[in-house]
Amino acid sequence: MSTLLAKIIHQSTYSVKMVSNKTVILVTGANSGIGFETAKALATASPDFHVLLGSRSVEKVQKAIDDIKTTLGDSIKAGISALQIDVCDHDSIKAAKDQIETQFGKLDVLINNAGIIVYEKVDALTSLRRTFETNVFGQLITTETMEPLLQKSAKPYVVYVSSEQGSISERLNPEYKYREIRGDHYRMSKAALNMLSACHRYNYADWGCRVLAFNPGWCVSNLTGEKGREMRIKLGARDPKDPAIALVDVVFGKRDADIEKNGLVDLDGGVRPW
């Protein structure tokens, strides 16, 4: 073995050993909105964290990392790095899993944040397929692909960023303030995501994984394009920093009591009905 090759192997092994002592957190859909703010909040939360910003676009997620470094500067405590992952592409998910395994050997927290609302004019079946592909199928495959890495964590968490719009109880509640909003396909996908979280909570309980569906509230985001973003701001939608702060509390274990209850873990504390 050449001296140069031995040096490279030694440095790689040392790096993996050091980073593996950190809490490794993957946030999907991290280049904007709630995902971006969550990654940003986690970056300042603890030097014991390493935050992986997951995104379909390498360029967009690298820009997000550059923005975080520029904005936060010396207040960054955690390690942060980019991870290319498209939750609608099984090969991409598998490659992301292999990369995490090679670099860190485990995954402690998976925040399934990637999600969409189909707001273009398409037929109902196309809208349903696109919505469920990202909001349900992609979440399931991502989590189950990452499962072996989560099993290597001392205290694993799986977070599904859902929505109170997926609550069946609230949909039929005449007092619910967002009752008049249609969004049937989106609502259906989030209701399915809530069931997925319940199934994984049951299935993963025997190896100590805490699984929750999280309600981030109605926030300013790019989910429905620039016009939708402007509409949300005008109508008083919340700052995406609010759910980001709540998700940091989840990672720190401060919401474990709520996770044990039946319902959506709410950003403002407690749970909301399924």
CB of 165 closer than 8 Å to CB of 186:
yes
CB of 19 closer than 8 Å to CB of 223:
no
From 48, 43, 86, select the one nearest 64 (Cα to Cα): 43
The active-site residue, picked from 22, 97, 160, 186, is 186
234 is catalytic: no
176 is catalytic: no
What's the one-letter identity of residue 200?
Answer: H
The active-site residue, picked from 22, 40, 106, 190, is 190
**SS3 state of residue 24:** strand
User: Given strand 271-272, what is the order of strands in its sheet?
Assistant: 79-84, 49-55, 23-27, 109-112, 157-161, 210-215, 264-266, 271-272
**SS3 state of residue 270:** coil
Residue matched to tokens 């971006």: 36
Other Cβ atoms within 10 Å of 182 Cβ, number:
7
Q: Sort residue 266 into left (φ over 0), alpha (ψ -120 to 50) or beta.
A: beta
Please give the Cα distance from 97 to 141 (Å, whole number): 11
Residue matched to tokens 């920093």: 241
For 141, half-sphere exposure in the C-beta direction (CA atoms, 13 angstrom radius) is 20
Strand partners, 83: 54
**SS3 state of residue 122:** coil
Both tokens of 39, joined, read 């990654």
**Which sequence positions are flagged as catalytic?**
186, 190
